[in-house]
Structure 1
Amino acid sequence: MSFVKRNTVLSARPGRVAPTAPQATPGKLAPPPGVRPSPLDGRPTTSTGTLSLDQLLAGHSGLPLGTSLLIEEQGTTDFAGTLLRYYGAEGLVQGHHVHLVGYPPEYWRRNLPGLAEPDSKSKASQPAPAQEEKMKIAWRYEALGNSAPSGSAARGDASQNTFCHSFDITKRLLPASFKGTLQPTPSTGAPSFDLRAQPKSQPAQSPLKAIIKHLQTKLEASSPRDIHRVIIPNILSPEFYAQGCTQPSEVLQFFHALRALLRKYSTQLTVIITLQALLFPRSSGLVRWMELLSDGVLELIPLPATPGAAPPPKSSSEKVDTPQGLLKVHSLPIYHEKGGGGAETSSFREALSFSLSATKGLNIKPYSLPPMMEEDDKKEKSPASTVKDGIDF
């Protein structure tokens, strides 16, 4: 038995092929603007335009490409619509293709939030951390902290390297900031209240199938490095959808086809859908099937306004973000049989709240009850007892 030294190339023998030197692999292309690998499993992710929502999405620090998100909202508010506007504005600034379903694109273009100006004062006042005082943590979390900028100064940079921009809802997104395109989709067939004008026969192709065909054509004609965002606000709303679109056969086929496009173009496409829970409650079987065909499901429950509540303090130091609603996480993307996707975290168990501000956008944080007023203060202000000449009456 002969022994051969390791890392030694064996000489060519009859009937034996000598091993060849490994070929140099070409350098990997940089990800498209607004896309970075997930710190959880390396999948490409993109930002929703809301930093707190990115941090909530299953540890990916963003919405993974090839997934969809269904946002249900109770009541008559439009917080979900605000999330969609941040999602669309982020895509236009990053140079993505934004597909708007149902709504006129001119109306949406005029109502997109503008980029917030970076706070130079707070940035200059913060000293640079010393290298020796830097906390030594795992490389995984260190890379996550560097890649996920925090604060308005870090998010306000309008460069392509910024993953999540900071927007101001009091401003409007200027056309000069548009790097992407806002593409309308075929009409969803708004209902006509004139019975005489309605055709007697059904159309050959439903509006929902025309939307799927339109998206498929756009995806096939685009480059593999192009990123597409599909925005579907208030799906099945009677204001923009014909009565035939609400049939379960039409809706479920639409969700199945949309899910197939997401799986086929898993590195190019993301979808966010909003639903009015006041018209379509979660107790109905149709909504439950829509949730099963979506990768993530969130529910927004606005809190009723408290009559006679004191106004918030004007001082910035005493200002507290008052919760405007509750957020329920019903499901988040899960990729393998071992779990993942946030199922092992406390996002499903803890109570979450959200508040909307002009500069911070929609801020999601754990819900906590406000502090109760002391009983002594109420007793001092109550005119139940009067004092006259040192004698209580």
Structure 2
Amino acid sequence: MSFRKRSEVINGTPRTPAVPGRAGGPSPIPGRTPTPGVPGRIPSTVPGRGPLPGRSQKAKPPGPQKSDETVSPEPELSNIGIRPSVITSQPTISTGTADLDKILAHQGLPLGASLLIEESGTTDFGSILLRCFAAQGILHNRVDEAKKSNAHVIVVGLSHEWAKDLPGMYKGSSKDKKKALIKSEENKINVSNMSQSSNTQERDLKIAWRYGLNKKVQDENLSEVNENYNHQFDITERLRPVPSANEMTFIQLSTDYKKLVSTISATIEQQIKAYSSKTIRLVIPNLLIPSIYPPSLSQSTFMIPFFHSLRSLLRQYPNHLSMAVSLPVDLYPRSSHLITTLENLVDSVIHLQPFNQAMSQLIERAYKNEPGKIQHGLVNILKLPVLAERGLMTIHNGEYAFKNGRKRFEIEEWGIPIEDDATDANNTPSTEGHVPEKQTSKNIDF
């Protein structure tokens, strides 16, 4: 036996195995020839084969590629009118009514969502909510007078006269003004205030611990994080100066819904192009009222495609656009096909149901000494926004009540008032010789 090195040639012929795909061996694929000079490599260009479907032969330039579709840019947190939702963290704007923000579960109306306010009876409480919704956007602009780049309001179907009735900001009662003046004086730095502030803080902490007021203090601190997000409005006052054309746009109705939607879309594009962080509030008051909408515009052949187009705009600008609509349901009942379809196309629905005459008289008698507690109707929640694709179907009937107070629109939990016409038995003298039971003087506090 003899041993040879691997590199040594036997009988003068190199020992090369026939490996498919390498030079000297058969081709792995019939019809293809290996690339000369590079063992085992197939040529990049195959005769008779075209480009793969969906791929272009042209080389793409380096850098990010622009899409042909119009995509809404991300919202900027520098906008004082935007705050993340407490549920989904989606950018949210205030409706201008703090109680309405709470029952919508997001502390406001999320951007890209719509709100439908239905109302029974001949009242017009829904218009108050829409005016607060519009006035909130105007006030967000006026916080920064130099830029006016926070919000823009678009009103459909009404004239410029509607802007003259927007509510003004609530400045507080005389007692609140005195408290604000005292607080501003206390904030001034001097020797006496510094000595008093430590004692006051210690006393406040003891009171909060004793009576469980810590939660209230925490809620007040959270509200101070973005104090300009929501304002309280005084419905007896008017917003002055009246909003200008740079702050509010009025679009008249058209028999062609495509032309109407095109005008709205062009206005949105113009406002976002000027300021990319601006939010757009689309307001449609008194939908389907005959004095505003002629019969041709009240038909389902016009209204359903119109709302489909508005929904498409909301999805096209999810970081800038929100919509609020008011609708009377006495002329168009909820059981009708048109209203059922509109409810399916919007993201959230609430129903204002004013009390009948008998209930109103009962409440007035029950609260005759406290007129501020008199409520005017129920607030029924039918759908909540964003929690599902077409809104979360939820029903809360008879749980909340609203009252249009002297200064603001309030929503609170509903409870049937108790009318007590009789006087307390312990304070009423006996007429038949019956002596009332004597009240105990023993302290029963724990």
TM-score for the superposition, normalised by structure 1: 0.71
Amino acid at match of 1:353: A
Asked if 1:236 corresponds to 2:288, the answer is yes
Which one is further off, 288-297 or 112-121?
A: 112-121
Is residue 42 of structure 1 aligned with residue 89 of structure 2?
yes
CA distance in 2, matches of 1:208, 1:250: 7
Cross-structure match for 2:263 = 214
Partners of 2:334 and 2:242 in 1: how far apart? 41
Deviation at 1:100, TM superposition (A): 0.8
Query: Percent sequence identity over matched residues?
Result: 32
Distance in 1 (CA, whole Å) between partners of 2:130 and 2:417 is: 29
Structure scoring higher RCO (CA < 8 A, sep ≥ 6) equals 1
* Shift in CA distance, 83/176, structure 1 to aligned 2, threshold 3 Å: closer
CA distance in 2, matches of 1:143, 1:376: 42
CA contact (8 A) 1:188 1:242 kept: no
What is the rounded CA distance, in whole Å, between the counterparts of 1:132 and 1:351 in structure 2? Answer: 33
| 1:332 CA displacement | 0.7
Counting only pairs closer than 5 Å after superposition, residues 133-144 of structure 1 correspond to structure 2 as none
Q: Which letter maps to 2:116?
A: L
Q: 3-state DSSP class of the match of 2:396?
A: coil
AA matched with 1:51: A
The one-letter amino acid paired with 2:159 is P
Among 104, 121, 135, which residue is 2:178 paired with? 121
Q: How does 1:143-158 map to 2 (within 5 A)?
A: 146-148=221-223
Q: 2:411 aligns with which of 348, 353, 364?
A: 364
Q: Which residue of 2 aligns with 1:333?
A: 385
Aligned with 1:353 (options 401, 426, 436): 401
What is the rounded CA distance, in whole Å, between the counterparts of 1:132 and 1:42 in structure 2? Answer: 35
CA drift of 1:47 comes to 0.5
Residue 281 of structure 1 deviates from its aligned partner by: 0.6
- Aligned residue number for residue 112 of structure 2: 66
**Closer/same/farther in 2, CA of residues 342 and 214 from structure 1, 3 Å limit:** same
* Worse-matched range after superposition: 322-331 or 32-41: 32-41
Report the secondary structure of 1:258's partner residue.
helix
Give the deviation of 1:319 after TM superposition.
Answer: 5.1
Counterparts of 1:143 and 1:258, CA distance in 2: 40
- 1:1-393 equivalences in 2 (<5 Å): 30-58=77-105, 60-95=106-141, 96-105=151-160, 107-118=161-172, 119-122=176-179, 124=182, 129-130=204-205, 146-148=221-223, 161-175=227-241, 181-185=247-251, 187-188=252-253, 206-223=255-272, 224-305=276-357, 306-307=360-361, 309-310=364-365, 318=370, 320-336=372-388, 348=396, 351-359=399-407, 361-375=408-422
* Change beyond 3 A, Cα 1:76–1:350: closer
Call closer, same or farther: CA 1:358–1:208 in 2, change over 3 Å. Answer: farther
Paired with 1:91 and 1:121, the residues of 2 have a C-alpha distance of 29
Instruction: State the 1:303 CA deviation.
Output: 1.0
Range that drifts further, 266-275 or 221-230: 221-230
Question: Which residue type is aligned with residue 328 of structure 1?
Answer: N
Instruction: Summarize deviations over 1:62-81 as a string: whole Å, max 9, x none.
Output: 11000000011001101000
**May I ask how many residue pairs the two structures share in their alignment?**
317
Render the CA deviation track for 1:225-269: whole Å, top value 9, x for unaligned: 111101101112111112211121211111111011111101101
Q: Distance in 1 between matches of 2:340 and 2:102?
A: 26
| Aligned residue type for 1:42 | S
In 1: Cα distance, 2:214 partner to 2:333 partner: 45
Q: Give the counterpart letter for 2:123 in structure 1.
A: T
Secondary structure at 1:98 match in 2:
strand
| Secondary structure of residue in 2 paired with 1:348 | strand
Q: Which has the larger radius of gyration?
A: 2
Given that 2:366 and 2:420 are in contact with CA atoms closer than 8 Å, whether structure 1 keeps it comes out as: no
Amino acid at match of 2:238: R
Are the counterparts in 2 of residues 35 and 163 from structure 1 also a CA contact under 8 Å?
Answer: yes
Contact 1:92 1:178 in 2 (8 A): no
Report deviation, 1:188.
Answer: 1.8
**Gaps spanning 5+ residues in structure 2: where?**
1-74, 142-150, 187-199, 433-446
Alignment RMSD, CA only? 3.7
Q: Quote the Cα distance in structure 2 between the aligned partners of 1:277 and 1:330.
A: 14
Change (3 A) 1:322 1:136: closer
Alpha-carbon distance between aligned partners in 2 of 1:179 and 1:39, rounded to the nearest angstrom: 34
Structure 1 residues 342 and 255 mapped into 2: Cα distance closer, same or farther (>3 Å)?
Answer: closer
Shift of 1:355: 0.4
Distance in 2 separating the partners of 1:241 and 1:340: 27
* Counterpart position of 1:11: none
Report the counterpart of residue 194 of structure 1 in structure 2: none
The answer to whether the 8 Å contact 2:114/2:322 transfers is: yes
Q: As a proportion of its length, which structure holds more helix?
A: 2
Q: Secondary structure at the match of 2:107?
A: coil
Contact 1:93 1:179 survives alignment (8 Å): no
Aligned residue type for 2:257: L
Q: CA deviation at 1:101?
A: 0.9
